[in-house]
Amino acid sequence: MTAEPIIRATGLTRRFGDLTAVDHLNVEVAQGEIFGLVGPDGAGKTTTLRLLCGLMDPTEGEAWVAGHSVAREVEAVKDQIGYMAQRFGLYGDLTVDENMNFYADLFGISKTERARLLPDLLQMTRMQPFRSRPAANLSGGMKQKLALICTLLHHPQVLFLDEPTNGVDPVSRRDFWAILYQLVRDGLTVFVTTAYLDEAERCNRVGLMNQGRLIRCESPRDLKHALAEICYEVQTADNRAAREFLQSQPGVLSVEPAGAKLHLFLAPGASADQLKNAVSATDFRPIVPSLEDVFIGLIRKSEAANAS
**Exposure string over 15-44, b if 16+ CB within 10 A, otherwise e:** eeeeebbbbebebbbeeebbbbbbbeeebb
**Domain identity same for 70 and 108:** yes
Q: What mean pLDDT is predicted for residues 57-64?
A: 96
| Chain mean pLDDT for the chain | 90
Q: How confident is the model at residue 90 (pLDDT cuts 50, 70, 90)?
A: confident
Say yes or no: 242 and 146 in one domain: no
CATH classification at residue 32: 3.40.50.300
Q: Residues 40, 170: one domain? A: yes
* Residues 98 and 186 reside in one and the same domain: yes
Q: Residue 34 belongs to what domain range?
A: 7-222
118 & 232 share domain: no
Whether the model pTM is above 0.85: yes
Whether 55 is in a domain gets the answer: yes
Q: Report which of residues 262 and 170 the model is more confident about.
A: 262
Q: What CATH code is carried by the domain that includes residue 257? A: 3.30.70.100
| Same-domain check for residues 234 and 213 | no
Q: Kindly state whether residues 39 and 164 are assigned to the same domain.
A: yes
Our count of domains for the chain comes to 2
Indicate whether 259 and 113 sit together in one domain. Answer: no
135 plus 270 within the same structural domain: no
**Is residue 299 in some structural domain?**
no
- Summarize pLDDT for 235-289 with one digit per residue, the tens: 999 999 999 999 999 989 889 998 899 999 998 888 888 899 899 899 999 998 8
How many whole angstroms from its chain centre is CA 216? 13
Structure confidence at residue 1 as a pLDDT band (50, 70, 90): very low
